[in-house]
Structure 1
Amino acid sequence: MLPPSILALVRNAPTVAPIPHRAVLSVTGSQAGEFLNGLITSPIPTDPQAHFFTTFLHAQGRVLYDAFVYAQAGKGGAPGFLVEYDARPSEAPPLLAMLKRYVLRSKVKLRDVSEEYDVWAAWGSEKEKTWDVKRKWDLTRNDFMTPEWDENAAWPWGTTPGVIQDRRAPGMGHRLLVRKGDRPQEVSTHDVASAEDYQLHRTLRSVPEGVLDIRPMKAFPMESNLDIMGALNYSKGCFVGQELTARTYFTGILRKRILPVAVRQSGNRSLVDSPLPLLDIRTVPNQRWKDGDGVQKTMRRSHGKLLSSYKGLGFALLRLEDLVPIHMELATLEIEDGETKYEVEYLWPDWWPRQSPRLALLDAHERFAVGNQRQD
Structure 2
Amino acid sequence: MSNIAAIKLDHRTILKLDGEDLVPFLQAVVTQDIGRVSPTKSVWSALLTPQGKFLHDFFVASSPEGGFLLDCEKERAADLLRRLKLYKMRSKATLEQTDNRYSILALQGQNLDQKFGIPLEKGASKAIANGCIYIDPRHPAMGARAIIPTDKLSDFLKENALSESTLADYDQIRVALGIPDGSRDLEVEKSILLENGFNELDAIDWDKGCYIGQELTARTKYRALIKKRLLPVKLTGSIPEAGSDITNSGKNVGILRSVYGNLGLATLKIDAIGSDQLLCNGTNVTPLLPDWIEIDA
Q: Provide the TM-score with structure 1 as the length reference.
A: 0.70
AA in 2 matched with 1:278: G
Q: Which residue of 2 aligns with 1:6?
A: none
Task: Say whether residues 1:342 and 2:283 are aligned partners.
Answer: yes
What is aligned with 2:237? 265
Aligned to 1:276: 241
Displacement, 1:180? 1.8
Runs of 4+ in 1 over 6 A off after TM superposition: none
Contact 2:46–2:57 (Cα < 8 Å) also in 1: yes
Cα RMSD (Å) of the superposition?
2.4
CA distance 1:68–1:32, shift in 2 (3 Å): same
Corresponding position of 1:205: 177
Residue pair 2:232, 2:266 contacting (<8 A) in 1 also: yes
> Which runs of 5 or more residues in structure 2 are unaligned?
none
Q: 1:261 to 1:332 in 2, by over 3 A?
A: farther
| Larger Rg computed on CA atoms | 1
Whether the 8 Å contact between 1:132 and 1:171 is mirrored in structure 2 is no
Q: How has the CA–CA distance of structure 1 residues 184 and 212 changed in structure 2, closer, same or farther, with 3 Å as cutoff? A: farther
**Alpha-carbon separation, structure 1, partners of 2:17 and 2:45:** 15
Q: What is the total number of aligned residue pairs between the two structures?
A: 285
Residues 132 and 167, structure 1, Cα contact 8 Å, conserved in 2 = no
Partners of 2:112 and 2:144 within 8 A in 1: no
* Cα distance in 2 between the residues matched to 1:123 and 1:184: 19
CA distance in 2, matches of 1:205, 1:54: 18
Determine the structure 2 residue equivalent to 1:296. none
What is the percent sequence identity of the aligned residues?
Answer: 28
What is the Cα deviation at residue 132 of structure 1? 3.9
TM superposition score normalised by structure 2? 0.87
* Contact 1:58/1:241 (<8 A) preserved: yes
Given the superposition, is the C-alpha separation of residues 220 and 183 from structure 1 closer, same or farther in structure 2, using an over 3 Å criterion? farther
Q: Secondary structure at the match of 2:235?
A: strand
Matches within 5 A, 1:315-354: 315-324=265-274, 331=276, 333-336=278-281, 341-349=282-290, 351-352=291-292
5 Å-filtered alignment, 1:24-173, equals: 24-46=14-36, 48-49=38-39, 50-72=41-63, 80-88=67-75, 94-128=79-113, 131-132=119-120, 156-161=122-127, 162-173=132-143
1:251 equivalent in alignment to 2:223: yes
State the partner residue of 1:229: 201
Paired amino acid for 1:221: L
Residues 231 and 289 in structure 2, CA contact (< 8 A), matched pair in contact too: yes
